[in-house]
Structure 1
Amino acid sequence: MTTVQKSNLQASANAPQPFGAIPNTAQLKWHDVELYGLVHFTPTTFENKEWGFGDADPKIFNPLLFDAEKIVLAAKEGGLKALILVAKHHDGFTLWPSKTTAYNISQSPFRNGNGDMVKEFADATRKHGLKFGVYCSPWDRNSRLYGGPEYLKIYQQQLTELYTNYGDLFMSWHDGANGGDGYYGGALEKRAIDNTTYYDWSNTWAITKKLQPNASIFSDVGPDVRWVGNEQGFAADTSWATFTPRPPIGLNVAVPGQLYYPESPKGTRLGAYWMPAECDVPLRQGWFYHPQEKPKSPQQLFDLYLKSVGRGAALDLGLAPDTRGLLADADIKSLKEFGAILRQTFSTNLASQATIKINSIRGANFNSDNLIDADKNTFWASADQHNTAQIELNFPHEITFDLINLQEFIALGQRVDSYKIEVEQHGKWETVASGASIGAKRLIHFNKPYTTKSVKINLKAPVAITIAEIGLHKVSL
């Protein structure tokens, strides 16, 4: 819970009690980001592959026009608020001059062997107001030590270097890359590991918590942010921020790369942990740049935004610089137009014009004005005895909208488990949407615009209801 949220809650002894698992401070900051990117750029780019084998000559990595600021600015114009850099992919090549391996950027011609791409990205993101995170693949197809006990020390030292030399991180990103075939120092063989023990995740993530206490840790099983279970960029329509990771049927342990994935898109109602979903998807068809591929259109990106951020999750968009070290013009154009859609759609909240009538108000600190004050650190709350709510927005003149934005005050947990939206049409109430979860954000885009002077939002929860914001918007496509 942030300082602002704590102070608001402390302002009244009448605040609702937390419900179920609740987010920690790092998770609340992660929720604020909503939309960010994952940058893949290694020698694999120059090989035109998706997975490097670990045997590429470092000398091929020579992006003559590389400019981290241009990539960051394109991302920012697309509405992204952070970038995660793949500092090391499965090929084992580190984009910083790591002391743990000779297979690093200092062996390439980039910056005459004096380059540090992690630093350049870290500096560029902070210069332009974006947050920064890193991914360091646990699988290393180059290292001759991979599969043995010595490699774990190398991997943990690589994380330590990233955590101590590049400032505050908003996220440490991990996946379930659990071995396979590779170069392995020339052995050219397949290596398997015990994915339940080899990476020693509890102690490995303890390094994160010690050195980067403000960073959220992402993996299939969290502990802070969970993988949504697909690389297509969407969460389930009903998506809970709480989750109880379970192993696959017949196995005993849930770890990265080993999980009962059918539950990941939806989460677990009343799950043991606050572990919201990240929806990752590449801007192009692959995570690395391939000349023959095209980026998703701005309209496709907005649809993914609705199905991820609009379902209480986050959207992690894969960005792939080309061999110049820049994003392709088509990628920049798509990002720019997507960002324009977001800015134009959400620049005006028609709900701010409404007079609000509610069947239950907890007290002065939690009144209906908080619903349309553009401040998600304030909220309306019902009385404890009221776990159903009817919020009616009445307007002095007709408005036309085709998107509604609902946000719970998630610092007190995800409470609502049923919503119904009604619009007054020709003197009668018409149900236009209904569902279960709201969470950090629920965006509902209707298939047609509605013109009306009254909108009604019906909510149910097991406990007192808390809503931070209501928005009515007209999508700009």
Structure 2
Amino acid sequence: MNQLAPALLGTCMLAAGLAEAEVKNGVPPLKPVPSPAQLAWHDMEMYAFIHFTINTFTGKEWGYGDEKPELFNPSDFNADEIVKTLADAGFKGVVLTCKHHDGFCLWPTKTTRHSVAASPWKQGKGDVVKEISRACKKYGVRFGIYLSPWDRNASSYGTPEYIKMYRQQLKELATGYGPVFLAWFDGANGGDGYYGGTREKRSIDRSTYYDWKKTWGELKKRQPGAVIFSDVGPGARWVGNESGYAGYPCWATYTPVPLQAGTEPAPGTVRYQLGTEGTVDGKYWIPAEVDVSIRPGWFWHEHENSRVRTPENLLKLYFDSVGRGANLNLNVPPDRRGRIHEEDK
């Protein structure tokens, strides 16, 4: 077993302990150091992504936003089977795609009708988020959320009204489903979409539109223990690729560099490739997450059933991520039944 990851964790704990001792003695602490939430995150090593939404039924990776909610109708959805399979495989947490770029919500949100409430699944009374979060509690794994900042269905996208809607969705997820260990945000923001029927391209200023400090602040008020993941952290950073490896070395310290000088670093507006190795003398403690799928795509597609990663390849992913001081977030997407496909087990 590669010993680098446990060694890194020990170093993190030592740094945090020294910082605490320095504070007690009136000496300014050595910075940056990990927070308690980051230490708990480091200790997990591996958790699983669940990409499951209306794209599972259309065969797309990125839905356009005009997909009919009626398409979402898993024939045998079983949250217990999904989470137990992942827990038995050694994953310490599960991150669910509560909303992808197409805007379809896996819970009966009050913000839009584009959700499971308008689907035939369980006569519109179902709630995937609730069932997955309950199964996580049952099987002793931590629950995380992914809420796409981009929404190709929302007519208000690109206006201030959408930010209100987005924060309300975050509030619903942060208050109705128990503790959240990770809130996951990506930088795919703005572009062409359905947008309530306009079918147009909408551009935003990614560095300012979401006012991320305020948006994340609203989330942290309700989930203070959640680690926030994005291109810029602030809790954990994207490693800069989806190929399944961290750099060697991979520093836990990091200074995000914006694409345009004079702008604020934000998801989708930074030199993300720098996240592969981090910053040796970085300003912030923002360790890396390696996110990669067990299949070529992020959502389940029948034609990819023969292209699932082998056990040998998965072991290599572990060594190239956790073995280099990062955490591994492996995507295992449920099929149209709402179960982990036999080829993925």
Residue by residue over 1:263-302, the C-alpha shift from the partner in whole angstroms, topping out at 9 and shown as x without a partner, is: 2111111211110000000110000011111211111011
Residue of structure 1 in register with 2:74 after alignment: 63
- Pairs within 5 Å for 1:229-240: 229-240=240-251
Code of the residue aligned with 1:88 in structure 2: it is K
Give every structure 1 segment of 4 or more consecutive aligned residues whose post-TM-superposition deviation is greater than 6 Å.
none
Code of the residue aligned with 1:119 in structure 2: it is K
| Distance in 2 between residues matched to 1:24 and 1:250, nearest whole Å | 29
| Distance in 1 between residues matched to 2:148 and 2:276, nearest whole Å | 23
- Pairs within 5 Å for 1:355-370: none
The structure 2 residue matched to 1:101, chosen from 106, 112, 135, is 112
Maintained 8 Å contact 1:164/1:211: yes
TM-score, normalised relative to structure 1:
0.66
Maintained 8 Å contact 1:176/1:219: yes
- Pairs within 5 Å for 1:106-185: 106-185=117-196
Q: CA RMSD in A?
A: 1.9
The structure 2 residue matched to 1:87, chosen from 69, 80, 98, is 98
| Distance in 2 between residues matched to 1:75 and 1:32, nearest whole Å | 17
The structure, 1 or 2, with the larger RCO (C-alpha pairs under 8 Å, 6+ apart) is: 2
Structure number, greater radius of gyration: 1
- Pairs within 5 Å for 1:270-309: 270-293=281-304, 294-309=307-322
Residue of structure 1 in register with 2:61 after alignment: 50
Code of the residue aligned with 1:176 in structure 2: it is G
| Distance in 2 between residues matched to 1:191 and 1:321, nearest whole Å | 31
| Distance in 2 between residues matched to 1:247 and 1:113, nearest whole Å | 43
| Distance in 1 between residues matched to 2:170 and 2:54, nearest whole Å | 20
| Distance in 2 between residues matched to 1:109 and 1:302, nearest whole Å | 40
Residue of structure 1 in register with 2:336 after alignment: 323
Residue of structure 2 in register with 1:259 after alignment: 270
| Distance in 1 between residues matched to 2:87 and 2:312, nearest whole Å | 18
| Distance in 2 between residues matched to 1:266 and 1:55, nearest whole Å | 39
Residue of structure 1 in register with 2:6 after alignment: none
Question: How far apart are 1:64 and its partner, in Å?
Answer: 1.4
| Distance in 2 between residues matched to 1:328 and 1:209, nearest whole Å | 35
Maintained 8 Å contact 1:20/1:270: no
**Secondary structure of 2:90 counterpart:** coil
| Distance in 1 between residues matched to 2:264 and 2:181, nearest whole Å | 28
- Determine which structure has the larger helix proportion and give its number: 2
Residue of structure 2 in register with 1:310 after alignment: 323
| Distance in 2 between residues matched to 1:249 and 1:135, nearest whole Å | 27
Code of the residue aligned with 2:49 in structure 1: it is L
Q: Work out whether 1:219 is the aligned partner of 2:227.
A: no
| Distance in 2 between residues matched to 1:18 and 1:233, nearest whole Å | 34
Question: How far apart are 1:167 and its partner, in Å?
Answer: 0.5
**Secondary structure of 1:46 counterpart:** helix
Question: How far apart are 1:22 and its partner, in Å?
Answer: 0.4
Maintained 8 Å contact 1:21/1:270: no
- Pairs within 5 Å for 1:27-38: 27-38=38-49
Maintained 8 Å contact 1:247/1:260: yes
Task: Report the number of matched residues.
Answer: 326
**Secondary structure of 1:84 counterpart:** strand
Residue of structure 1 in register with 2:3 after alignment: none
**Secondary structure of 2:202 counterpart:** strand
Q: 1:17 to 1:193 in 2, by over 3 A?
A: closer
Structure 2, gaps ≥5 residues long: 1-11
Maintained 8 Å contact 2:241/2:273: no
Maintained 8 Å contact 1:249/1:260: no
- Pairs within 5 Å for 1:71-82: 71-82=82-93
| Distance in 2 between residues matched to 1:38 and 1:17, nearest whole Å | 39
| Distance in 1 between residues matched to 2:116 and 2:57, nearest whole Å | 14
